[in-house]
Structure 1
Amino acid sequence: MTEHKPENISSIPIDGFSHLRITSIWTFLMSVQWSEPWLVGLLVFHAVCLFMTVLTCRFYRAQICHFLLVVGLVYSAEYLNELAARNWRFFSDFQYFDSKGMFISLVYSIPLLLNAVIIVMVWVYRTFSTMTELKTLQLKRKARREKREKND
Structure 2
Amino acid sequence: MSAQKAKNISAVPIDGFSNIRITSTWTFLQSVDWSEPWLIGLLVFHFLCFAFTIFTCKYYRLQIFHFLLMVTMVYSAEYLNEVAAMNWRSFSKFQYFDSKGMFISLVYSVPLLLNTVIIVAVWVKRTFSTMTELKTLQLKRKAARENSKKTQ
TM-score band (shorter)? 0.7 to 0.9
Q: Partner residue of 2:88?
A: 88
Q: TM-score, normalised by structure 1?
A: 0.88
* Equivalent AA in structure 1 for residue 88 of structure 2: W
After superposition, the Cα gap between the structure-2 partners of 1:82 and 1:21, relative to the gap in structure 1 and judged at 3 Å, is farther
Q: Partner residue of 2:8?
A: none
* Equivalent AA in structure 2 for residue 89 of structure 1: R
8 Å contact from structure 1 (residues 53, 63) kept in 2: yes
Structure 2 residue 20 is the aligned partner of structure 1 residue 12: no
- State the 1:83 CA deviation: 0.2
Structure 2 residue 34 is the aligned partner of structure 1 residue 31: no
Q: Partner residue of 2:56?
A: 56
Question: How big is each residue's C-alpha offset from its partner over 1:44-81, in whole Å with a ceiling of 9 and x where there is no partner?
Answer: 00000000000000000000000000000000000000
Q: Which runs of 4+ in 1 moved over 4 A?
A: none
* Equivalent AA in structure 1 for residue 35 of structure 2: S
Structure 2 residue 102 is the aligned partner of structure 1 residue 102: yes
What secondary structure is seen at the aligned counterpart in 2 of 1:94? coil
How many corresponding residue pairs?
Answer: 139
- State the 1:21 CA deviation: 5.7
What secondary structure is seen at the aligned counterpart in 2 of 1:54? helix
| Cα RMSD (Å) | 1.6
Q: TM-score, normalised by structure 2?
A: 0.88
8 Å contact from structure 1 (residues 10, 27) kept in 2: no
* Equivalent AA in structure 2 for residue 116 of structure 1: T
- Give the Cα–Cα distance (whole angstroms) in 1 for the partners of residues 84 and 90 of structure 2: 9
- State the 1:22 CA deviation: 3.0
Q: Partner residue of 2:6?
A: none
What secondary structure is seen at the aligned counterpart in 2 of 1:34? coil
More contact order relative to length (CA 8 Å, sep ≥ 6): 1
Unaligned runs of 5+ in 2: 1-11
